[in-house]
Structure 1
Amino acid sequence: MRLNQNILLLGKKVVLVPYTPEHVPRYHEWMKSEELRRLTASEPLTLEQEYVMQHSWREDADKCTFIVLDAEKWRAQPSTSEESCMAGDVNLFLTDLGDPSLGEIEVMIAEPSCRGQGLGTEAVLMMMSYGVTKLGVTKFEAKIGQGNEPSIRMFRKLHFEQVAVSSVFQEVTLRLTMSEPERQWLLEQTSHVEEKPYRAGASEPR
C-alpha cells in the first residue's frame, strides 16, 4: 500500500523498509526454493512477473508489505545496498471487506543465516504495532502450514491462539484479539522502534 511507501521502521534486530524494485532480484532468488514456496503457498514466478507483483503490492490498499533487513548488517555496512541486507518480508493483508479491523499477518525469514535469531519475532511485533496504530487493526490472524512448527511456536509465544485447522489446505489458523492489556503489552514490546523517512535508493543515516 502507498501509506507505508515512505517510511522506515528501525528495531533492534530488524529494519523494515517498503518493498521496492531494488529488492525484487533477491526476492526472486529466494522464491526459487521449493521449500519456501511450500511454506508460503506461493507459485513460481518469472523475474518479470515478480516486478509486476511488487508494483501491485505497492498500489493495493489492502496489502501492507515491508522487506525485513538484518539490522546488524544494515548498520555495519552503510555504503552497501539494501539487497545485501535482506532477510525476508512481513505482510499484513486487510482482505475482509466486512471487517476492516481484521488483518492477516505473515512473515518469512528467507535468508538461512538469519533464521533462529529472533528476527521474525521482532518483525511481526513491529508490523502488528504498525497495524494497530496506523491502520486500525484490532484482530490478527495467521494461517500457517501444519508442518511449520517453528512459525506456529513463534505466533503462540506472541499470544496467538489456534482457532481452526484445515485438513484441505493443511494449515492452522491462529488469532489474537487486541484487548487493552494486549495493546499495552504490544506497545511496550515495540517502544524501542523508531520511525524514519525512507527514500528508495538513498543512503539513510545509520
Structure 2
Amino acid sequence: MDRHEIQQLTASEPLSIEEEYENQLSWRRSADKLTFIVCLPRQDAHANQSPVAEADDADARMVGDINLFLYPDDNDDDDDDDDNNNKHGETLGRNVFGEVDIMIAERSHRGRGLGRAALAAFLAFVRRNLPSLLAEYTAAAAAASASASTATPTVRLTKLVAKINEANAPSRALFASLGFADAAPVNYFGEVEMAMPGFAEGARAVLAEGEGYGEVEYRVAR
C-alpha cells in the first residue's frame, strides 16, 4: 500500500510487499488479531456454496480488508480482580476492548455497499465466535506468563471501538449506521474514536442472521 489517500484515510504507513506478507503471517499466528480479506460478492446462485480458494478470492476479486485488534482495557474496573491473577499475583488475562478497522482500496468499489456488508458480516462473525476468540486470547496470555496459573482467567470484551480520521465522513457514517457513536474527541493524530458498548451482550439487531449472514466452508483450490 503506497497511495497517500488510502494511508491518510486508514491512518496507515507505507509497506513493501515483503512487509505486507510478514504482517499477514504474524497476524495469522497472533491471538489478539483477526483479519479477513474483503472480496466482491458472488452471484446469487452460488451464494450458499462453499467458496474456492484462488477463484472466488482471486486477486481481481479482492477489494480490501477488515481487522479486529484486542487490547487490554486499562479503564476497566475489573482489571484488578483476583480471578485474573496467578498465584504470584501476575496478571494472566484481563478485560479487553476490540478495535475494528476496514479498508476498501479502489474508489470504484466505494459507495456500493461493499463496506457496510463486509462490516456487518464481520461483526456477526465476531459476535458468534466471541467465546472462542477470547479463549484463544486467554490461552496466549497464560502461556506468556512466567508461572503456571492456578485458575483460568476470565476475559470479557467491554466494547468495540473504531478510530477514524476526522475528515473521513463516509467511514464515520458507515460505522454510525451499524450502531457506533462518537465516544472521544479528536486526538493528536486527527482521529475520532467511535464506540459500540454492549456488543458482547448482543445489543445490536444488525448482528442477527436475519440480515443475510451465514458461514460456509472454505475449500482450498486443488
Instruction: Say yes or no: TM over 0.5.
Output: yes
CA-based RMSD:
2.7
C-alpha distance in 1, partners of 2:100/2:210? 17
Kept in 1, the 8 Å contact 2:101–2:163? The answer is yes
Q: Does 1:182 align with 2:203?
A: yes
Give the CA deviation at 1:140. Answer: 1.0
> Is contact 1:68-1:87 (8 Å) kept?
yes
What is residue 35 of structure 1 aligned with on the other side?
5
**1:86-105: CA deviation from partner (whole Å, max 9, x where unpaired):** 11111111122655452111
The offset of 1:141, in angstroms, is: 0.3
Tell me what 2:109 maps to: 114
- Whether 1:88 and 2:75 are equivalent positions in the alignment is no
Aligned match of 2:118: 123
What amino acid maps onto 1:149 in structure 2?
A: A
TM-score in terms of structure 2 length: 0.68
- 1:6 equivalent in structure 2: none
TM-fit CA distance, 1:55: 0.5
Length-normalised TM-score, structure 1:
0.72
User: Which residue of 2 is the match for residue 20 of structure 1?
Assistant: none
In our comparison, the structure showing a higher alpha carbon Rg is 2
Q: Which amino acid in the other structure matches residue 47 of structure 1? A: I
Residue 54 of structure 1 deviates from its aligned partner by 1.0
Aligned residue identity for 1:113: S
Is the Cα–Cα contact under 8 Å of residues 125 and 190 in structure 1 kept in the other structure?
no
The residue aligned with 1:194 is 214
The CA deviation at 1:190 is 5.5
Distance 2:64 2:2 in 1: 14
Where does residue 46 of structure 1 map in the other structure? 16
Residues 55 and 157 of structure 1: is their aligned pair in 2 closer, same or farther, counting only changes over 3 Å?
A: same
Check conservation: 1:142, 1:175, Cα contact below 8 A: yes
Establish whether residue 140 from structure 1 lines up as the match of residue 160 from structure 2. Answer: yes
Other structure's SS at 1:196 match: coil
Which residue identity lines up with residue 95 of structure 1 in the other structure?
Y
Q: Report the secondary structure of 1:186's partner residue.
A: helix
Q: Do 1:103 and 1:141's aligned partners in 2 also have CA atoms closer than 8 Å?
A: yes
* Structure 1 Cα separation of the partners of residues 23 and 161 of structure 2: 23
Segments of structure 1 that go 5 or more residues without pairing to the other structure are 1-30
SS of residue matched to 1:89: strand
Deviations 1:145-200 (A, max 9, x none): 011010011111112110112341101001111365724x0233655222122244
* CA distance 1:189–1:147, shift in 2 (3 Å): farther
* Aligned 8 A contact 1:101 1:138 in 2: yes
1:91 and 1:112 mapped to 2: Cα distance?
20
Percent identical pairs in the alignment equals: 39
Letter paired with 1:112:
R
Match of 1:157 in 2: 177
Q: Which amino acid aligns with 1:127?
A: F
Contact 1:129 1:190 in 2 (8 A): no
**Cα shift at 1:73:** 7.2
